Amino acid sequence: MATLYVGGRVFDGEKVIDGQAVLEEGGKVKKIASAGEFTGFAGTKVDTSGGTLIPGIIDCHIHSMSGAEGNPGAISDRMSPAQLTVRGMELMRNTLEGGITAVRDCGGRDYIEFALRDAFNAGRFLGPTMRCAGRMICMTGGHGNRTGRIADGVDEVVKAVREQIHAGSDLVKIMATGGVMTPGVNPEDAHYSPEEMKAGITEAHRFHKCCASHAQGALGILNAVRGGIDSIEHGIFMDDECCREMLERGVWLVPTLAAVKNILAGYDGGDRSIPDYVIDKARRVFDRHIAATKMYYKAGGRIAMGTDAGTPHNRHGENARELEYMCEIGISTRDSLFFATASAADLMRLGDQGRIKEGNSADFVVCDGDPLVDIKKAARKENHRMVVKRGQVAKDNRAAFVAPAQRVAAE
């Protein structure tokens, strides 16, 4: 059965196309044309008047096996694989209902997330499209060593990459520096050598895999960029040299502003389960994180939305708040929406998502009002009238936006 979305604005992932209606059929965008061309349409209609139809929002950096507790690792360590799987299904359903129709898991737990990915992507359960990195690759004692694949030296790094590919990974994630969430490491320190980084990235590319790097310190960022990385995750201590070389090579930045912001918000809200070392490092990097993101944005760099959802108080289902955080530091509403739709789809190589165009997957969010005027209309899930995945309604909140007088008349 076909469904026509008509009456409101349409942001197609790159630009506003006013006066247009969108016809969905069989889970795909069948036709985009002026509303007048659909006169006499007898199928299901979704009235988007007073609202805006946008592509499903895409989060390029999550951790589906982490639940956003104050100390997520300590909680997940106490859970069985079966419990982790069930919770992961629930968290990804929350994510979809929050307007996020595709995610990139940048480090899971013993490949459990692959089962979620395969079930959602095959349509066996309603959830976001998933791309998964498997086990993140890190040096001995490096960031992520609790659950990652520890590898030292060129040969071992290459072997670790091959293991992820053999396990079924969609991308490879290599840890270039220390990070906030691992004890005893400095976010500014480069971990892998330039030779190790290049070897791992080259091997991933040899098998046509996108390669992401957790990279916070400037030297580690440069090691990853010069090794051929596709995306820099976080980029906190980016300097002018990093920015220039990333621009020259067309490297994406996935800022994840939500990560540090939510750690500090959770602590300020009274959660003392967050380890002290995490708070200390989060405070140290907070301002620098914002400055680096603004630097790359002002330089015209490629940016894709990511949140690091699953880290402390960074909840699955609230991912879209990253749009608001981007706008708070000076990114335009149009650009934040572009980074979270079309640009994110390009990074994730999702050719049929991220843009509302004929032939693409019917992944939509119907926002109340105009997010190009007020980004909260897209960033906050309470302002979503509907979320649609492959033509299926994942969340229908339209009744909340019907005026009281209209509800009485309808009754």
Confidence at residue 129, expressed as pLDDT on a 0 to 100 scale: 98
pLDDT in tens, 262-308: 999 999 999 999 999 999 999 999 999 999 999 999 999 999 999 99
pLDDT in tens, 224-266: 999 999 999 999 999 999 999 999 999 999 999 999 999 999 9
CATH number of the domain that residue 33 is part of: 2.30.40.10
Confidence at residue 408, expressed as pLDDT on a 0 to 100 scale: 44
Mean pLDDT of 40-45: 93
pLDDT in tens, 312-369: 999 999 999 999 999 999 999 999 999 999 999 999 999 999 999 999 999 999 999 9
Going by C-alpha positions, the residue among 312, 182, 330 that lies closest to residue 260 is 312
Write down the H helix ranges in 208-269.
218-226, 240-249, 257-268
3-state secondary structure of 220: helix
Is the per-residue pLDDT at 379 higher than 50? yes
* Residue 381 domain boundaries: 3-55+353-410
Asked if residues 135 and 107 have their Cβ atoms less than 8 Å apart, the reply is yes
CATH number of the domain that residue 262 is part of: 3.20.20.140
Same domain, 149 and 294: yes
Classify residue 337: in a domain, yes or no: no
Q: Residue 406 — very low, low, confident or very high, per pLDDT cuts 50/70/90?
A: low
Same domain, 303 and 379: no
Classify residue 271: in a domain, yes or no: yes
Q: Residue 30 — very low, low, confident or very high, per pLDDT cuts 50/70/90?
A: very high
Q: Residue 222 — very low, low, confident or very high, per pLDDT cuts 50/70/90?
A: very high
Same domain, 250 and 120: yes
Same domain, 188 and 104: yes
**Could you give the C-alpha distances from 214 to 142, 191, 311, 336, 361, in angstroms and in order?**
11, 11, 14, 22, 30
Q: What is the residue-averaged pLDDT of the chain?
A: 96
HSE on the CB side for 78, CA within 13 Å? 5
Same domain, 195 and 220: yes
pLDDT in tens, 98-155: 999 999 999 999 999 999 999 999 999 999 999 999 999 999 999 999 999 999 999 9
